[in-house]
Amino acid sequence: MSERILIPTDGSEAAWDALEYAMGAYAPTEIHLLYVISGPTNHPYHGDGSIVEDEVFSEERRYAEEIFATGRERIDDSDLDVTTAIRIGQPPQQIVKYSDDNDCTAIVMGSTGRDGAARVLLGSVAETVVRRAPVPVTVVR
């Protein structure tokens, strides 16, 4: 069976732990590294309401490319197909949509481990993905 594993990443240690776990727990034929830009709080808009992506997100895109380069180094397997993607929007929704659109067989993601009041107030990307994903989700802490 072809294992296509989605690793949402933000460059955190938790995300790298998820990548390491996925490489050991699965026999992936493809790894998809996904970086989601959630956007600044004050973004400029065109009159039609669309975001001026190139101007607003150029620094985020550069950061994502650095993360992808690090991810490729950590994978260090020339036989493994590594796909990288940047999406803009709310992270949980973009992660689930990417997984579905790309026929990923599993999602492995890190969690910062917020508990209690912080999780209730801030929400949890991992928790939302677990509830909404059409494939198995492993959360690495």
Domain residue limits at 24: 4-140
Give the number of domains in the chain. Answer: 1
Question: Tokens standing for 89?
Answer: 């929007």
Q: What is the CATH number of the domain that holds 61?
A: 3.40.50.620
The answer to whether residues 141 and 110 touch, using CB atoms and an 8 Å cutoff, is yes
Residue 65 pLDDT greater than 50, yes or no: yes
Radius of gyration of the chain from its Cα atoms, rounded to whole angstroms: 15
Report the C-alpha gap between 99 and 34 in whole angstroms: 10
Stretch 115-126: mean pLDDT, rounded? 59
pTM of this structure: 0.84
**Entry field: residues in the chain:** 141
| Span 74-119, pLDDT tens digits | 998 888 999 999 999 899 999 999 999 999 999 999 987 656 555 5
Question: How far from 33 is each of 8, 80, 82, 136, CA to CA, in Å?
Answer: 6, 13, 7, 17
